[in-house]
Amino acid sequence: MPIKIIRNDITKIECDAIVNASNSTLLGGGGVDGAIHNAAGKKLLFECMKLGGCKTGQAKITKGYNLPCKYVIHTVGPKWKDGSSNEESLLKSCYKESLKLAEEYNCESVAFPLISSGIYGYPKDQVLKVAVDMITEFLLDHDMLVYLVVFDKSAFQISEKLFAEITSYIDDTYVDTHFIYNRPRADVCEKSTLLAGTQILPDAYATEACKEPECAVAAPKGISLEEVVNQIDESFSQMLLRKIDEKGLTDTEVYKKANVDRRLFSKIRSDVNYKTSKTTAIAFAIALELSLEETKDFLMKAGFALSHSNKFDIIIEYFIKNGNYNVFKINEALFAFDQVLLGV
C-alpha cells in the first residue's frame, strides 16, 4: 500500500495506529505529544505511567482510548545538535521501530508526524527525507497504508535548492491560457481554418457556414459504426501490462514504485477497459521510468495529456527531464506547490 501525505490534525486521523512524537517520560508534553494526550484522555496517561519511559530511537505502544485509532505508538526522536551526534540513525530508528510495532499488532494503516521537526529542532527537509526513505524501504516488503501527516504547510519543506529549481522551471515553461475565443467550427471545418489576421466569424454565421455538405465529416463508406468502434487501439491497461513485461519488472515492483494500492492495480489488470485517473496514469509512467515522449504516448492511452498551462504537468515534466523517477520525492514537490499527489 502507498504513502499518503496529508495536511491534518493527527488526532483526527481514522486509522489503526498513530505515532506520537513523545519525550522520554511518555507522560505528555507540548506539540503533537500534548495534543495526542489531550485527545486520548487520562487513561492514556495512566497506561504510559506503567511503561517506564522510552529511550531515544525506540518505540512503545498503548491503546488509543478516546482517539479514532486502535493504538498509539510512542517514539522518542533525537534533539538536533549539529548533525554529527548520531541524530540521523536515531531518527531512522524511530520510524523503523514504530513500523515494526505496527506490523506486530497487525495494523493495516498508520499515521506519522514529522518526528523531531518541532521543538527538538531537527531541520524539516532532513526529517522529511528520513521519513520518506524509511517508510518507502518498509513498504517494499509490506502492505500497509502509511500517512505522513503535517499540521500546516510550514511544517513540510523540500530543500530550498529544489524548490527554487522547480519554481524557475515553472516560470520558464508556464503558458498562461486565459484568452478564450470562439471557434466552434474551426476544429471540424477545413474551410474555417483560422489564419493570422483572419476575422473570427460570429457563432451564428459559423453555424450556418458549416451546414454546407462539403464541410461535413464523411463517414467511411461500406463500414458500419460497430466495425469502426471495433478497430479501437491498445487500451491503457494493455499498454501498462506490456510495458511492465518489456521492462522486465514484476507487478508488485511497479505498483509499489507507483505508490498505488494493490487492490487498484488488480482492478486495472483485470479490466482491459478500466478508466484510470490522470494522477494514477502518471504514477505508473514514473514507476516504469518512461521518457517524456513515452509518457505522453502512455497518457494518451488513458485519454490525458501534459500541458504547459498546468503547473502540475510542468512539475511532472521537470522530474522526468531530470531523470528523477522517485514518486515520493515528486509528491514532496507537488505538496510544496499545493498540487494533487501521485498514486493513491
Q: Which of 33, 133, 187, 338 is catalytic?
A: 33
Distance CA 336, CA 339 (A): 8
- Phi, then psi, of 110 in degrees rounded to 5: -145, 145
Q: Is 296 helix (H, G, I), strand (E, B) or coil?
A: helix
Which residue reads 503533537 in cell numbers? 32
Strand (E) or helix (H) holding 127: helix 124-139
Distance CA 343, CA 259 (A): 5
User: Chain-centre distance of CA 116, in angstroms?
Assistant: 23
82 is annotated as an active-site residue: no
Q: Is 91 helix (H, G, I), strand (E, B) or coil?
A: helix
Strand (E) or helix (H) holding 21: strand 15-22
Residue type, 41: G
Distance CA 293, CA 55 (A): 51
Beta carbons of 314 and 174 less than 8 angstroms apart: yes
Instruction: Kindly list the catalytic residues.
Output: 33
